[in-house]
């Protein structure tokens, strides 16, 4: 286990912010952390980053108890790094900022330079090595802050609202960066967010913090898949005995067995059962559950797989679907994300 927390409490201003009786976080995974404002998300991240101490309880990291001695904490902080919601860059160049942690670790100059360039390449900022940090946009600043964190090759990366206050282009870039470093470097990632769509796009597991308590659930719409026919343009992939999707061949891994995730916010109701769809897959199922969540409608469909979809209130009211009704849904090509068995979206 990466983290094991037992009897963890944090009291601020006489109020118990965290009250976690027992919880574990596994290594090599991506976790999202959601919860209302004031729920303690940032406080928990700082405790996991060893930048703050709990008021009570025990934390074990990689199987070892976390001691509060100065040398012990320094060693742990070399393995775990946190990127704030509004990161601050130092005066100077982008290189000066990315090199900072490496200088503190007394890495030789030549090696430090290579590690800096590698980190900037990871975030697509290698052409900014001589740029003045204070001239960067908000999205570029976050990417340089990520590079600064990645340069020291942490075991764990913690991110507080990584896509907040940046434009949509940089949001996508940042999500791709996090997915890539988890897949390629096996870096464990925990990030807080207010956006459920980020959970669907990125997280293996979703944590929810409320009233001091934390709960976990598997990210929705994640499946084992089997390639049954590879075509020149489109390929057939089986998710269950009843469900086969036809996907663009370019997105299907070479291995016959892989993992697949469907973005619940991109699924739409088909106009009619049996509708033909040229750029996606159509499946039918029985509505198992309907509930409202933050002004949107969550629908759980039993279609040979359990499929979760998110409808706008207008779409839901236009169609007036009911529990027990058989409906058809369209899964567009861009809603499906595939990776090899040893990559993202692991189910174990």
Residue 173: count other Cβ atoms within 10 Å of its Cβ: 21
Of 218, 249, 267, the domain-final residue = 218
CA separation for the pair 97, 142 (Å, rounded): 12
What's the pLDDT at 291? 85
Same domain, 18 and 89: yes
Which stretches of 107-202 are assigned E, i.e. beta strand? 156-160, 188-192
The total number of structural domains in the chain stands at 2
Q: Evaluate if residue 348 carries a pLDDT over 70.
A: no
With respect to residue 347, please indicate whether it lies within any of the assigned structural domains: no
Of 193, 218, 243, the residue that ends a domain is: 218
Extract the tokens encoding 229: 């026919």
Which of residues 174, 202, 218 is at a domain's end? 218
Statement to judge: residues 173 and 249 lie in one domain:
no
Q: What's the pLDDT at 167?
A: 86
pLDDT at 346: 45
- CATH number reported for the structural domain that contains residue 155 in this entry: 3.40.50.300
- Rounded Cα gap, residues 159 and 253, in angstroms: 29
Residue 7 reports pLDDT greater than 90:
yes
Residue 345 domain flag: no
Q: What is the pLDDT of residues 93-150, one digit of tens each?
A: 999 999 999 999 999 999 999 999 999 999 999 999 999 999 999 999 999 999 999 9
Are 227 and 208 in a shared domain?
no
Stretch 38-47: mean pLDDT, rounded?
Answer: 94
pLDDT at 179: 86
d(CA 334, CA 261): 11
Residues 49-83 pLDDT 10s: 999 999 999 999 999 999 877 778 889 999 999 99
Q: Which band of pLDDT confidence, cut at 50, 70 and 90, is reported for residue 296?
A: confident
Assess if residue 300 is contained within a domain.
yes
Residue 317 has pLDDT above 60, yes or no: yes
**Is 230 within a domain?**
yes
Tell me if 15 is assigned to some domain.
Answer: yes
pLDDT tier for residue 205 given thresholds of 50, 70 and 90: confident
Contact of 160 with 42, CB cutoff 8 Å: yes
302-311: average pLDDT: 89
Per-residue pLDDT tens over the stretch 224-276: 899 999 999 999 999 988 899 999 999 998 889 988 889 888 898 987 655 55
List the CATH number of the domain containing 244. 2.40.50.100
The pLDDT of residue 197 is 60
151-189 tens-digit pLDDT: 999 999 999 999 888 888 888 899 889 988 988 888 999
Both 317 and 178 in one domain: the answer is no
Angle at 36 between CA 223 and CA 293, to 5 degrees: 55
- Kindly state whether residues 171 and 301 are assigned to the same domain: no
Identify the H or E element spanning 100: helix 94-104
Measured distance CA(32)–CA(317) in Å, rounded? 31
Q: Encode burial over 119-155: b for 16+ CB neighbours within 10 A, e otherwise.
A: bbebbebeebeeeebeebeebbbbbbbbbbbbbbbbb
The answer to whether residue 232 is domain-embedded is yes
My answer on whether 209 and 235 are in the same domain is no
Query: What range does the domain containing 98 cover?
Result: 3-218
d(CA 155, CA 79) in angstroms, rounded, equals 5
- Kindly state whether residue 346 falls inside one of the protein's structural domains: no
Given this model, what pLDDT does residue 341 score? 65
Domain match, 233 and 99 both = no
Same domain, 72 and 95: yes
Q: From residue 324, how far is each of 205, 231, 292, 321 by CA, in Å?
A: 29, 36, 17, 9
> Looking at the predicted structure, is the pLDDT value of residue 17 above 60?
yes
The β-bridge partners of 246 are 236
Q: What is the pTM of this model?
A: 0.70
Indicate if 8 and 89 belong to the same structural domain.
yes
* Residue given tokens 């990210």 in the structure block: 219
The answer to whether residues 193 and 306 belong to one domain is: no
Q: Is residue 194 part of a domain?
A: yes
Would you state the pLDDT for residue 316?
A: 84
174 & 261 share domain: no
| Nearest one of 124, 120, 114, 111 to 93, comparing CA atoms | 120
Q: Please indicate, yes or no, whether residues 237 and 213 belong to a single structural domain of this protein.
A: no
């Amino acid at each position: 286990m990466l983290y094991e927390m037992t009897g963890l409490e944090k009291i601020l201003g006489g109020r118990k912010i965290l009250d976690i009786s027992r919880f574990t976080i596994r290594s090599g995974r991506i976790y999202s952390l959601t919860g209302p404002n004031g729920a303690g998300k940032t406080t928990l991240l700082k405790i996991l980053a060893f930048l703050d101490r709990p008021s009570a309880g025990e934390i074990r990291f990689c199987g070892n108890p976390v001691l509060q001695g100065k040398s012990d904490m320094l060693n742990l902080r070399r393995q775990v790094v946190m990127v704030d919601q509004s990161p601050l860059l130092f005066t100077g160049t982008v290189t000066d900022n990315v090199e900072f942690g490496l200088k503190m670790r007394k890495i030789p100059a030549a090696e430090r330079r290579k590690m800096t360039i590698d980190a900037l390449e990871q975030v697509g900022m290698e052409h900014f090595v001589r740029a003045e940090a204070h001239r960067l946009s908000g999205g570029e600043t976050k990417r340089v802050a990520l590079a600064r964190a990645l340069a020291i090759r942490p075991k764990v990366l913690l991110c507080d609202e990584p896509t907040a206050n940046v434009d949509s282009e940089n949001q996508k870039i940042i999500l791709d960066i996090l997915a890539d470093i988890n897949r390629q470097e096996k870096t464990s990632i925990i990030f807080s967010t207010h956006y459920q769509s980020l959970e669907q796009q990125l997280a293996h597991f979703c944590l929810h913090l409320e009233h001091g308590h934390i709960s976990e659930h598997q990210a929705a719409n994640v499946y084992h898949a089997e390639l049954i026919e590879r075509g020149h343009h489109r390929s057939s992939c089986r998710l269950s005995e009843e469900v086969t999707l036809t996907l663009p061949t370019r997105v299907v891994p070479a291995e016959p067995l892989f993992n697949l995730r469907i973005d619940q916010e991109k699924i739409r109701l088909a106009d009619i059962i049996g509708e033909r769809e040229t750029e996606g897959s159509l499946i039918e199922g029985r509505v198992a559950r309907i509930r409202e969540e933050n002004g949107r409608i969550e629908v759980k469909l039993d279609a040979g797989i359990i499929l979760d979809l998110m409808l706008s209130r207008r779409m839901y009211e236009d169609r007036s679907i009911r529990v027990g009704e058989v409906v058809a849904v369209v899964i567009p090509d861009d809603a499906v994300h595939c990776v090899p068995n040893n990559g993202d979206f692991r189910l174990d």
